[in-house]
Amino acid sequence: MTDDVRELRQRAVRLLARREHTRAELVRKLAPHGTSDEVSRVISQLQGAQLQSDARFAESWLRARAGGLGTQRLRQTLQQKGVAGELIGAAITEAGLDDERERALAAWKKKFDRAPIDRADWARQARFLQSRGFATDTIRRVVPNTVSDIDSTSEMAHDE
């Protein structure tokens, strides 16, 4: 192993020691420091030694950030970070994040916890949840239309 490749590997290990990285992130961060062949070879070696794993990155990232985000947003962000679709689906399922109603209700209660006073307020609350990546049908089930809906929404969350 040449000194350049050794230095590239050490740089990659230092990055991975701080936090998990996807293969795509490592390629981007290591590219200025070596040729594409060297970078690819180093990352492949790290994957072979189980030091780099996109699946482990996805699991770690979901544990840290999934609380207030919808499934659509989780998938989109992981795709942007370079995680393959099948790994994303498996990580979401394994983390138990398939049912997003509970997360949407928690995010809504943290921000609002009151029925919208009119249609504009309902739309504002719905847009908040939509910006977090929650599906439209989930938003309709979570954001109450009237004050009495808040009570039934809370009761449904406790029953589940």
> For position 136, what pLDDT does the model report?
93
Name the domain count of the chain.
3
> For position 157, what pLDDT does the model report?
47
**Are residue 26 and residue 63 in the same domain, yes or no?**
no
**Are residue 83 and residue 132 in the same domain, yes or no?**
no
Whole-angstrom Cα distance, residue 43 to residue 101?
A: 38
> For position 151, what pLDDT does the model report?
46
**Are residue 108 and residue 149 in the same domain, yes or no?**
yes
Asked whether 23 and 82 are in contact (CB, 8 A), the reply is yes
> For position 107, what pLDDT does the model report?
92
> For position 146, what pLDDT does the model report?
58
Asked whether 156 and 102 are in contact (CB, 8 A), the reply is no
- The whole domain housing 34 covers 3-48
Please tell me what DSSP assigns to residue 98. S
**Are residue 82 and residue 110 in the same domain, yes or no?**
no
**Are residue 34 and residue 58 in the same domain, yes or no?**
no
CB-CB neighbours of 39 under 10 Å: 21
**Are residue 147 and residue 112 in the same domain, yes or no?**
yes
pLDDT by 10s per residue, the chain, length 160: 688 889 999 999 999 999 999 999 999 999 999 999 999 999 999 999 999 999 999 999 999 988 889 999 999 999 999 999 999 999 999 988 878 899 999 999 999 988 999 999 999 999 999 999 999 999 999 998 854 444 455 454 445 4
**Are residue 41 and residue 77 in the same domain, yes or no?**
no
**Are residue 34 and residue 68 in the same domain, yes or no?**
no
Q: Taking the C-alpha atoms of 27, 28, 30 and 36 in order, what is their torsion angle to the nearest 10 degrees?
A: 60
The three-point CA angle 56-59-61 to 5° equals 105
Q: For 130, what's the count of Cα atoms within 13 Å in the CB-facing half-sphere?
A: 9
State both tokens at 104: 């949407």
**Are residue 75 and residue 61 in the same domain, yes or no?**
yes
**Are residue 44 and residue 67 in the same domain, yes or no?**
no
